[in-house]
Structure formats: structure tokens, C-alpha cells
């Protein structure tokens, strides 16, 4: 028997697509894909981001064609993580027995899991807007770190529809204070170094490592690369850095708790001298614009925590 007044059917919301995360068969890398097409690859060796692709398939990171991805040495390209020392350590410092750029980039990390942002409630939503991958490293995971301190690192990599974020949390789990430096050694992919400029650092004094660390006054113009370049700029984290190609914005870098920006390109001769750098003219296709805290030491007291990060927007 039909009722005069039937209850209104409750609408069923369509199931939104979600980010997909997978681990390779050999347990060496983690891959994340957004429903909109963006993709991220992270090696567990060094927790090194080796690929970041936009929805159209365009690669945003430079990876050397000769990079070793088997865990035999730090990766040349992508985003190697520098900790707890930048560059060759001073023999007199507590980091003096460590390799160049520390041990984070040549240690195997643990994949801790993923989390996704809430799905948009807007019409025509394509699903979750981002996915965050977390990786962990502690002193107990190292067989011989040559750095006698207790620590716990949590490294988070967040893939969004137009950006990539990397952040590091450093926890001093021991009873002694220690000093450290940190850097996201980002290799950005570009079309041609001769057509690339950097803005946001025009009026910032820098240390020129090619000239032995000489304090150098800025020229006041956007930075262009015409020879081997290795500079440390110290500027407020709120300063936005942009990388342009042919005068058009290509990347935008923002930082949190990271007061330094390293600009590096090996140019012709130095590129030839690096066995793991390729192709030989690959220096034309990359520029390192690296957010970090390396011009001085950060002191972390026992029981304390430090956190810093960067956000790179592909434009």
C-alpha cells in the first residue's frame, strides 16, 4: 500500500578520490600520487626526495643521470637533507668526525606513515588536496654516527596540488646540549641556466664560498648565474624568494625558522670533476636554492625541540 507522504531519500555523497601511497617491492622508496595527477618519490636512503612532478607530468627537481640510488652514496640531485653539519666539518667541533653535510643524507630512514588533508566540500572537488609522508631517524638506528648525542628526527614531506613542503623536527632526547646545522639541499629543474634569475636576495650581503667565504656586497640586481656559484645569503625567513625563467615566475620559496639561503651551481669545470654528476652539461638544467640554517650553529638544549621547514610552489 502506497503512503501518501513518502520520506525524502537521503542524498548520498559521491566517494571522493584519495591520495595513493605505495612502497616499492624492494622497500627502498615511497611514492605518493594525488587524484589530480601530482606525484612524489622519496628514497628511504637519506629520506631523499628524488622526484616531484606537477599534474601535467613536468618534473620540478633535477636528478643527476649518474646519481646512485642504491644506497651506496648520497644522492646527487632531488632534495638531500643536510644534518647536523653543513659542508666539511671543522676537526675541532663536535661534528669533526662526520662526513661532509653530516649523516642524515646517507642513513636509512624509517617510513612512519601518511596523512591526508580533508576533502573539499566544494562542487567538482577532485578529492584530497594534499598528502603528508613522515620519516624518522634516531641515534639508536645508526651503527656508528661518530656524533655522541641522542636525537630523534621527524622529516615530513607534503605534496599539494601546486607545492611541495619539507619540514624537520629535531628532538634532543639526551641529557647534553648540542649544536647543529640543517639544510634542504634542493636541486630545482630549469630549462636553461642562462635564462634563469633569482629575486628576493638582490640587497642581501652574502658569503662567497668560491672566494673563500668572502663577505660580499650585493649588486642590487636579480641574481643570474654566469660561472661557478656557491653563496650563503642570510635573510629573514619571511622574505619570499622567486626563481624566474625568461622573466616569468617558475618557483616560489618560503621558509619557516630558516634564516639562510644557499645558491649553488657547479658550472662547467666543477661539474666535470664530480663523478656522479651528469650529463656533463647538466649544470645548465639545474639551480640549487637551498633553505637552511647554516651560517651559525643552532644550540638545542637537553629535552628541547626545534622545527623548521620550506615550501616550494611550482608556478
Listed in sequence order, the residues at least 6 apart from 293 whose beta carbon sits closer than 8 Å to its beta carbon are: 181, 182, 183, 257, 258, 259, 260, 308
Confidence of residue 144 (pLDDT cuts 50, 70, 90): confident
Contact 274, 225 (CB under 8 A): no
Q: What is the pLDDT of residues 209-228, one digit of tens each?
A: 999 999 999 999 999 999 99
Could you tell me how many residues make up the chain? 315
Q: What CA–CA distance (Å, rounded) separates 264 from 96? A: 24
**What is the per-residue pLDDT for 1?**
52
Identify how many contiguous H helices and E strands the chain contains and give both numbers. 1, 21
* 3-class DSSP state of 15: coil
More confident residue, 15 or 13: 15
**What is the per-residue pLDDT for 143?**
83
**Alpha helical stretches, state H, the chain:** 267-273
Q: What is the pLDDT of residues 245-268, one digit of tens each?
A: 999 999 999 999 999 999 999 999
Q: What CA–CA distance (Å, rounded) separates 64 from 220? A: 32
**What is the per-residue pLDDT for 111?**
98
* 3-class DSSP state of 268: helix
Confidence of residue 117 (pLDDT cuts 50, 70, 90): confident
Confidence of residue 123 (pLDDT cuts 50, 70, 90): very low
Q: What CA–CA distance (Å, rounded) separates 96 from 151? A: 18
Does residue 185 carry a catalytic annotation? yes
Q: Per-residue pLDDT for 10 more than 80?
A: no
Q: Per-residue pLDDT for 13 more than 70?
A: no
**What is the per-residue pLDDT for 124?**
46
Q: Per-residue pLDDT for 106 more than 50?
A: yes
**What is the per-residue pLDDT for 127?**
52
Q: What CA–CA distance (Å, rounded) separates 228 from 248? A: 24
Contact 312, 278 (CB under 8 A): no
Q: What CA–CA distance (Å, rounded) separates 67 from 65? A: 6
Q: What is the mean pLDDT of the chain?
A: 93
Q: What is the pLDDT of residues 32-82, one digit of tens each?
A: 999 999 999 999 999 999 999 999 999 999 999 999 999 999 999 999 999
Q: CB count, 10 Å around CB of 137?
A: 22
More confident residue, 105 or 124: 105
**What is the per-residue pLDDT for 141?**
96
Q: What CA–CA distance (Å, rounded) separates 81 from 97? A: 18
Catalytic residue among 92, 185, 245, 280: 185
Q: What is the pLDDT of residues 238-248, one digit of tens each?
A: 999 999 999 99
b/e sequence 24-45, b meaning 16+ C-beta within 10 Å: eeeeebbebbbbbebbbbbbbb
Q: CB count, 10 Å around CB of 55?
A: 15
Does residue 202 carry a catalytic annotation? no
Contact 81, 170 (CB under 8 A): no
Q: What CA–CA distance (Å, rounded) separates 315 from 308? A: 23
Beta pairing, strands 130-138 & 110-116 = antiparallel
Catalytic residue among 38, 165, 252, 290: 290
More confident residue, 114 or 16: 114
**What is the per-residue pLDDT for 218?**
94
More confident residue, 308 or 121: 308
Average pLDDT over residues 129-153: 94
Amino acid at each position: 500500500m502506497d503512503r501518501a507522504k513518502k520520506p525524502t531519500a537521503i542524498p548520498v555523497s559521491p566517494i571522493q578520490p584519495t591520495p595513493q601511497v605505495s612502497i616499492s617491492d624492494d622497500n627502498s622508496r615511497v611514492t605518493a600520487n594525488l587524484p589530480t595527477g601530482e606525484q612524489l618519490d622519496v628514497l628511504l636512503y637519506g629520506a631523499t626526495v628524488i622526484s616531484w612532478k606537477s599534474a601535467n607530468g613536468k618534473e620540478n627537481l633535477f636528478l643527476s643521470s649518474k646519481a646512485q640510488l642504491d644506497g651506496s652514496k648520497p644522492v646527487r640531485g632531488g632534495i638531500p637533507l643536510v644534518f647536523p653539519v653543513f659542508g666539511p666539518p671543522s676537526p675541532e667541533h663536535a661534528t669533526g668526525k662526520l662526513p661532509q653535510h653530516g649523516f642524515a643524507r646517507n642513513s636509512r630512514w624509517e617510513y612512519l606513515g601518511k596523512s591526508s588533508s580533508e576533502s573539499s566540500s566544494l562542487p567538482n572537488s577532485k578529492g584530497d588536496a594534499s598528502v603528508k609522508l613522515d620519516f624518522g631517524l634516531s641515534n639508536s638506528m645508526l651503527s656508528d654516527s661518530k656524533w655522541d648525542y641522542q636525537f630523534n628526527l621527524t622529516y615530513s614531506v607534503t605534496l599539494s596540488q601546486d607545492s611541495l613542503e619539507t619540514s624537520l623536527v629535531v628532538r634532543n632526547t639526551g641529557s647534553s646540549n648540542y649544536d647543529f646545522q640543517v639544510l634542504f639541499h634542493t636541486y630545482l629543474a630549469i630549462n636553461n641556466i642562462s635564462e634563469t634569475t633569482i629575486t628576493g636576495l638582490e640587497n642581501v650581503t652574502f658569503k662567497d664560498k668560491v672566494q673563500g667565504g668572502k663577505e660580499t656586497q650585493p649588486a642590487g640586481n636579480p641574481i643570474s648565474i654566469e660561472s661557478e656559484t656557491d653563496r650563503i645569503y642570510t635573510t629573514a625567513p619571511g622574505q619570499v624568494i622567486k626563481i624566474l625563467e625568461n622573466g616569468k615566475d617558475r618557483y616560489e620559496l618560503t621558509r619557516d625558522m630558516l634564516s639562510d639561503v644557499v645558491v649553488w651551481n657547479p658550472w662547467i669545470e666543477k661539474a666535470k670533476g664530480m663523478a656522479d654528476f651528469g650529463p656533463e652539461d647538466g649544470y645548465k638544467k639545474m639551480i640549487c636554492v637551498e633553505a637552511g640554517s647554516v651560517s651559525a650553529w643552532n644550540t638545542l638544549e637537553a629535552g628541547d625541540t626545534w622545527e623548521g621547514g620550506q615550501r616550494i610552489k611550482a608556478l
